[in-house]
Amino acid sequence: MRTPNPSRRRRWLQLLAALMALTFVAAACGSDDDDDAVDDATDTATEAADDTADDADDAMEEEEDSDAMDEDDDAMEDEDDAMEEEEDAAPASDSANVVVVACGDGSSFATPSSPSTELTVALVAPSASGDLAFTQSMVDSLTALGIEPQVTDGTFVVEEAAAAIRGYAEDGIDVVIAHGTQYGGSLAEIAPDFPETSFVWGTSSDTQGIENVFAYTPAADQGGYVLGTIAAALTESGTIGMVGPVEAGDAALYVEGFAAGAAAEGADTNITYTGSFGDVQLATEAAEAHVSVGADVLTGTAQHVVGAINVASAEGIPWFGTQSNQTTLAEDLVVASQVYHWEVVLADIFAQIEGGTLGGEVYELTLENNGLVIEFNDCRDGAADLVAGAQATVDGIIAGDIDTGV
């Protein structure tokens, strides 16, 4: 069983930050290709959507500026800004719900220096910690809170997960996160046996009436709708292919929301549920089938999308991700990802537990509470051009002017 080591990750990030700083200095001091250097420095920050227009203006000014010294100064300023923005990077609740993630940064998750709670936390999850999907979103969120959980991952089999959940409770862990809808039945048996332990379960919109169970669920249809509208703008054939696992849970919410968003902008969506969360080969062929019927934009959900993304990569067509930022799978083709920032609700849950309340409440990730963040991929050309439209859709959903239809 692999237990993520945030302290090691932090060391890597510190090393990375140092290397980036050196890169910026080199970029700023270089006499050749200054414009590119300045652009790179500018691009390195994770930009809040509201700042995008200003940044674009800055970039234009920088490009028009012919004075090398001025450019160097600008570059240094941008570098400082970038570093400041990185240092300020906080959980998404403090930032925007539409962001552009700089090329190579991976995601907009924060990396705090100290844990946000003294509670001991364990995570039981159905797929691998680094699946670039459901489980990784939770691992990244806990890391963003500075928490180093004990992890049992890859427990798609409910009986194995139940043994792990019970084991952590017997070991006296304060909070056991059961990160899988399918674990509900096991929790109903286990949680009452450990009234001093808090169990956090998702995705579910029901605590099953158990006093020491919190539940959480993402309104994945919201981000899906936003991405669907963008996908509709990118498709030339008017057909978008979608690859999902089973028609249930957040996967179904995402698919339905995405289809509604695309339909609102006049695009058709063809939906395939493969019947499996992990069958990469099947997801690959499902994506191939979509392409064969004319789809020129693809999306999908669950860890098996690794295969579908490969098809997008081979065909050179845009991809939209969900759950985690999937940019690393196809840097030049992933347009944007809906990323689950569970830390938004986890922070509140942990505060409640520390206050003596061990369960009884249901939490939802939404665009409004910044638990759902639309992360654009800056490696792909034109990302900044799409931000304003996405933000408008997000604002419409939050204001209630847009209904995802789910």
Nearest residue to 72 (alpha-carbon basis) of 26, 9, 116: 26
Our separate counts of H helices and E strands in the chain read 13, 14
Residue 97 or 269: the one with the smaller Cβ distance to other proteins is 269
Residue 2 or 170: the one with the smaller Cβ distance to other proteins is 2
Least distance between other proteins and beta carbon 310 (Å): 5
Q: Collect all residues with Cβ–Cβ distance below 8 Å to 10 and sequence separation of at least 6.
A: 111, 113
Half-sphere exposure in the Cβ direction for 110 (13 Å, CA): 25
Least distance between other proteins and beta carbon 366 (Å): 25
Distance CA 169, CA 386 (A): 46
CA dihedral (345, 347, 353, 355) positive or negative: negative
**Angle at alpha carbon of residue 321, lines to 19 and 157, rounded to 5°:** 100
Direct distance between the N- and C-terminal alpha carbons of the chain, in angstroms, rounded to an integer: 37
Nearest residue to 392 (alpha-carbon basis) of 402, 384, 382, 383: 402
Nearest residue to 229 (alpha-carbon basis) of 400, 396, 53, 5: 396
Least distance between other proteins and beta carbon 239 (Å): 10
Residue 93 or 276: the one with the smaller Cβ distance to other proteins is 276
Least distance between other proteins and beta carbon 203 (Å): 19
Residue 303 or 393: the one with the smaller Cβ distance to other proteins is 303
Least distance between other proteins and beta carbon 380 (Å): 16
Least distance between other proteins and beta carbon 58 (Å): 34
Half-sphere exposure in the Cβ direction for 9 (13 Å, CA): 17
Q: Which amino acid is at 33?
A: D
Instruction: Give the position of tokens 């295969």.
Output: 307
Residue 237 or 281: the one with the smaller Cβ distance to other proteins is 281
Q: Which residues bind other proteins (CB under 8 A)?
A: 2, 127-132, 136, 154, 241, 246-247, 270-276, 278-282, 284-286, 288-290, 292-293, 295, 303, 306-307, 310, 313-314, 328-330
Least distance between other proteins and beta carbon 91 (Å): 22
Residue 227 or 252: the one with the smaller Cβ distance to other proteins is 252
Residue 179 or 290: the one with the smaller Cβ distance to other proteins is 290
Contact yes or no for 177/183 (Cβ under 8 A):
no
